[in-house]
Amino acid sequence: MKTRFRRLLAASLLLAAPSLPAQPARWAQQAQRITIMRDQWGIAHVYGKTDADAVFGMVYAQAEDDFNRVETNYINAMGRLAEVEGEKELWRDLRMKLFIDTLDIKKQYAASPAWLKALATGFADGLNYYLHTHPDVKPRLITRFEPWMALTFSEGSIGGDIESVNLRGIEQFYGARGGAGSGGDFDAGAEAAPSPFGVEPGGSNGFAIAPGNTTNGHALLMINPHTSFYFRPEIHMASEEGLDAYGAVTWGQFFIYQGFNSRLGWMHTSGGGDVIDEYLETVTPKGNGFTYRHGGVEKPVRARTIVLPYKTASGMQRRTVTAYFTQHGPIIRSQDGKWVAVAMMQEPLKALQQSYLRTKAKDYASFRKVMELRTNSSNNTVYADADGVISYFHGNFIPKRNAGIDFSKPVDGSDPKNDWQGLHTLDEMITVHNPKSGWIMNTNNWPFTASGGDSPRIGDWPVYMSEQRDDNPRGVHAVRVLQNRKDFTLDGLIGAAYDSYLPAFEQLMPPLIAAYDALPAGDSLKTKLAEQVAQLRGWDYRFAANSVPMALANAYGEEVSQAAAAPARASGTLMLDFVKTKAPAALVLGALSRASDRLTRDFGTWKTPWGEINRYQRLSGEIGAGFDDNKPSVAVPFASANWGSLAAFGQTGARTTKRIYGNRGNSFVATVDFGPKVRAKSVLAGGVNSSPSSPYFFNQAERYAAGNFKDVNFYRADVEKNATRTYQPGK
């Protein structure tokens, strides 16, 4: 009797929870509708009957290549890094949770359209099926992905808007007693000192060439993001519902972030208009809470309890913080006795729709319609298509403001005149469309040189429409290689994007040469630096792996940038302009002297070719993997974006080696020809797989270092011809 009862109980439990055993069967059934082909480069080409099938397959393929990065992106997006990294990440987690409330995210997901829910379900199912079929993979935290999680990471920039909020300000405000402003005012001057070698800029290059400037009458697009290496892999996803997109995908997301389909392509460059504002709130204690003043009325400060779990050596601990919000946004620090609230775009549902729908646009009209969602807040967009249209959108999400107010600094939150007044329409934003010049570019610079003489004019727009107030060396360089040319080809555009000239040295070198020439004959520096100056005097400002003056110029540039940083800030002058017009002779000569000494100390002689110093190395697939001078590496000729190198290659973080090992700059790069059949070439830093044992870990390294692009397998016949493995998820 007892045995029969146990059997009945077990059967009833199975009936009560049919989803648990049924899930793997459902996943396996969906996997049968999906085909993944790995080409000769290891690139995954994913084909599904529906878009949701393609999403399932493409996130599954991403997990095969680097599950750690997929999972880590969502751990970070949900504000859960401290649960795996420890207490040091508490304030990063709080920053995320100030803006991303998972309860609200779940509500937004519940209200999302059916087609988006299907994609989000495909996303979660694909990752869960990967974990189910790979029991040897042990997640650090997320053992089960949920569809709503896709909304926590809806925009693929390397540094999204939230990351612009300073962590030290949050820690000082909330750290002392759970957020009552008792941490004191945030001291911007207390920021960590910059690296002695300067900071490698982030950003990207995007070029579009009109048919009239090409030899075959087709529009061309250059896709050249500058990110930390391995931030985005290369992938292709297609379905029988009209999806067919190729390009770079940020790990874990289910849309191509920068790429192309058979009809058009898009390249995002960070920058655009001013999209984030800070408000000084006048706050008064009242009862158990606070009020803030707005328009002569006292309004309640909203409080929300946020629990922050974190890992310790003895197990998990928790810290509870009371976070505060006004109508302008969350409180992120205090300043001059006031609380500072920050306003930014917070539309994850629209943002995810826009990110996905642009991959399925088929012409300019449909692409522009997607752009009207106006949630790509941290990016500009360079566009080209098979109809010969080229276009540029400087930003996408730009709030309307009182044009008489300086919003580059915190504004008075009590004055309604400082509030946002809705969003600008696309027609009101800075755009360039089919310019007569026949070319468009953006290098994270201002838009006023975007297309030569057909560029927007500075005085025609509110100041906040362009966050950038000037050009940058890459912008100067881009204009030179794009203007007055009618002979562009696919390879010719690659050549322009890898042009070796470094325009920043037009400002850095003349004052050095002049200062040296002015030295008296008997000066010790005259003797010490004679040969170095002779090398630099004859240099053509071009990078090359075998160039000694390139290596010396780079070391000098690093030293002079560091020496000039503080006086340039004090004088309100850009560093390059300061060195060119205001730097004392002792500053520039001292920089060259130190550069020579450093090269001699590190390499035995300052006469060391650039390629011996500037290297590409990939030792492991770990996030933040280090470098080792005693292990193999590849010479790289191109240089830092600081000097105007369009093909950017630089190192961020503390440099613990003698050599420079790039970890930011050119990563995934592609150029596309939009003819009757699309043709494309691409290259990826290292390879698509994160495992050193994979043949696709380092297989693109030599091509990457040489700027030697591979042909993209876009059409299925080409994929099948070059496939090295064809399989279904789970098999």
Whole-number pLDDT of residue 9: 36
Sign of torsion, CA 700 703 705 707?
negative
Whole-number pLDDT of residue 403: 87
Whole-number pLDDT of residue 155: 77
Mean pLDDT over each residue of the chain, to the nearest integer: 93
CB-side exposure of 318: number of CA atoms within 13 Å? 5
Matching residue, tokens 């920058």: 271
Whole-number pLDDT of residue 20: 42
Percent of the chain with pLDDT over 90: 89
Using only C-alpha atoms, what is the Rg of the chain?
A: 27
Whole-number pLDDT of residue 160: 73
Matching residue, tokens 């898009």: 266
Residue 626 has which token pair?
Answer: 């280090």
pLDDT band for position 11 (cuts 50, 70, 90): very low
pLDDT band for position 192 (cuts 50, 70, 90): very low
pLDDT band for position 634 (cuts 50, 70, 90): very high
Sheet containing 634-635, strands listed edge to edge, beginning at the edge strand earlier in sequence: 634-635, 614-616, 660-661
Q: At 349, phi and psi to the nearest 5? A: -65, -50
* Range in 201-210, 300-309, 379-388, 441-450 the model is least confident about: 201-210
Whole-number pLDDT of residue 529: 98
The arithmetic mean of pLDDT across residues 313-318, rounded, is 96
Checking if the pLDDT of 3 tops 80, the result is no
Summarize pLDDT for 592-618 with one digit per residue, the tens.
Answer: 999 999 999 999 999 999 999 999 999
The arithmetic mean of pLDDT across residues 221-249, rounded, is 96
Mind giving me the DSSP string for 653-718? S---SSSEE--EEE-EEEEEEESSSEEEEEEESS-S---TTSTTSSTTHHHHHHT-PEEP--SHHH
- Torsion of Cα atoms, 152 then 156 then 157 then 159, to 10°: 30
More confident position, 156 or 478: 478
Checking if the pLDDT of 62 tops 50, the result is yes
H/E stretch holding 25: helix 19-31
Matching residue, tokens 């360089």: 477
Matching residue, tokens 């780079």: 554
The DSSP bridge pattern shows strands 283-286 and 289-294 to be: antiparallel
Whole-number pLDDT of residue 467: 83
Checking if the pLDDT of 18 tops 80, the result is no
User: How many Å separate Cα 60 from the centre of its chain?
Assistant: 23
Q: 85-116 burial by CB neighbour count: b if 16+ within 10 A, else e?
A: beeebbbbbbbbbbbbbbeebeebbeebeeeb
Checking if the pLDDT of 524 tops 80, the result is yes
Checking if the pLDDT of 194 tops 90, the result is no
- Identify the CA nearest to 392 among candidates 485, 456, 486: 456
pLDDT band for position 22 (cuts 50, 70, 90): confident
Whole-number pLDDT of residue 411: 98
Q: Cα–Cα distance between 482 and 383 in angstroms, integer? A: 16
The residues near 12 (Cβ < 8 Å, ≥ 6 apart) are: none
Whole-number pLDDT of residue 475: 96
pLDDT band for position 72 (cuts 50, 70, 90): very high
Q: 267-288 burial by CB neighbour count: b if 16+ within 10 A, else e?
A: bbbbbbbbbbbbbbbebeeeee
Q: Cα–Cα distance between 20 and 6 in angstroms, integer? A: 20
Percent of the chain with pLDDT over 70: 93
* Range in 62-76, 110-124, 170-184, 423-437 the model is least confident about: 170-184
Instruction: Indicate the pTM of the whole model.
Output: 0.93
Whole-number pLDDT of residue 243: 98
Whole-number pLDDT of residue 2: 42
Q: Cα–Cα distance between 703 and 686 in angstroms, integer? A: 9
CB-based burial label for 565 (10 Å; 0-12, 13-18, 19+): middle
